[in-house]
Amino acid sequence: MTEDLKSSAQEFLVRYGGDQFPELFTSAKGSIVVDVKGREILDFTSGQMCATIGHNHPAILTALEEAGEKAVHMFSGMIPEVVVKLAEKLSSWLPSPLKKSLFVSTGGESNEAALRMAKMFTGGYEVIALGGSWHGTGAGASAVSYASDRRGYGPSMPGTYVIPEPNAYRCPIEHCRDVCDQTCLKVGMNMFDMASRGEGAAIIAEPILSAGGVIVPPQDYFKTLKAEAHRREMVLVYDEAQTAFGRIGVPFGAEYFDSVPDIMTVSKTLGGGVPLAAVITTDTIEANVHEKGFTFYTSHVADPLPAAVGLAVLATIEIENLVLKASEKGAYLRARLEDLQQKYEAIGDVRGAGLLLGVELVKDRESREPDHELGAVTTRRCFELGLSMNIRRRPERGAVWRIAPPLTVKESEIDQGVDVLDRALGESQIKLKKNMVRGMSIL
């Protein structure tokens, strides 16, 4: 049966760009994913960075069962009670003046809604994003996603601009080294002003650029970015798909950087593995765009089932004190990774916040030339040894492991994962040296 299903996968499924694994998978619980052969794999990616409170948390299963007894879906114009409860609960988490929420299915959708809202509010259409950003695959979101996957799909949405990301380790304008002085922001905004038609709408940014290599901007970067946006009568949008609800050791990136945006989107970490996202804004912006006729109808806007799960996720984070645990366990994981950095010259940088960490691989620490081959080979070896790792490889920017286990990860699982990484990295270096002698490449 298993071999038949593997053949069916090849015959009937569209290959959508995900990593290709040798086996199919059957189940997941906590920090562990199980394949068809019964092999347990420690998940250092929280699924697609979504399983914040662990795979198949009992609170999520209970919420799904209870929602199934009441309502899974309703007409989009009908507002279920549970959706109002989620909006009310979410408002208690949010930094003021953010308050009003619209619930959709995915982060890409929430960013599309945020950009529509920004354009209607400002009357402009120009949108700025950071290099290395990732906001989704819809027309608007993909146009302002610069981490990867831009080629082969035709023209992007008009009026989209990129500014250099504040990457102190690998400065995109080759100005800084290790300490970003925000010259990249000044240069980027000057370039935008030269190209702009005077129709500015929004600047959209991830507080920590995850797909771009877990880039953590300087502490005052977003205060400056917000001032630059407002000076041009644009709004600032935070895409907090991966930074919201405690992953970085505080509730939101807005709090980590002490700068509240005009519009915030949340997604992955709200649904805990169930498709749920939201765009959140202020009373002022919501009233303005409503008067102008703002719409964002989808088949699954304000659905009751995912809303029930969202309530369960937020309650679990509070009950299990997972924001504090993310800070504590993140510090422990980072210390273990920094120990590896002392052992391996190939680890050029360890960075991030809480349980969203990046480990950058280089051929040598002085030149900082990315070691993409070592990253690919070690990632494969980690999986063979029972550890799921996500490598971000951008030819012009670096090879970075994006490490984000569930907030419920045990300290023993952190030790297990780092020990596997240690072994895999050591073995991969030996393998590559042998192949280099033979004149081979295994990428």
- Residues 119, 226, 247, 268: which is the catalytic one? 268
- Residues 232, 242, 349, 360: which is the catalytic one? 242
Cα separation of 139 and 154, whole Å? 11
For residue 379, how many other CB atoms are within 10 A of its CB? 21
Structure tokens that stand for 393 in this block: 């490889």
Q: Is 313 helix (H, G, I), strand (E, B) or coil?
A: helix
CA distances from 342 to 47, 67, 338, 417 (A): 29, 50, 6, 17
Cα separation of 222 and 173, whole Å? 19
- Residues 239, 240, 349, 360: which is the catalytic one? 239
- Residues 100, 329, 397, 402: which is the catalytic one? 402
- Residues 134, 226, 247, 413: which is the catalytic one? 134
Long-range pairs, 97-101, Cβ under 8 A, ≥24: 97/260, 97/282, 97/283, 97/284, 98/254, 98/260, 98/261, 98/264, 98/280, 98/281, 98/282, 99/280, 99/281, 99/282, 99/283, 100/280, 100/281, 100/282, 100/283, 100/285, 100/286, 101/278, 101/279, 101/280
Cα separation of 349 and 295, whole Å? 44
Provide the H-helix boundaries in 237-321: 253-256, 268-271, 283-291, 304-319
- Residue 286 annotated in active site: no
- Residues 109, 112, 126, 206: which is the catalytic one? 206
- Residue 291 annotated in active site: no
Sheet with 390-394, side-by-side order of all strands:
347-353, 356-361, 398-403, 390-394
CA distances from 297 to 118, 274, 301, 368 (A): 17, 20, 7, 47
- Residue 48 annotated in active site: no
CA distances from 190 to 145, 163, 164, 224 (A): 20, 9, 11, 14
- Residue 134 annotated in active site: yes
- Residue 239 annotated in active site: yes
Give the bridge partners for 385, in sequence order: none
For residue 19, how many other CB atoms are within 10 A of its CB? 10
Work out the burial of residue 349: count CB atoms within 10 Å of its CB; fewer than 13 is exposed, 13-18 middle, 19 or more buried: buried
**Hey, which residues are catalytic here?**
134, 206, 239, 242, 268, 402
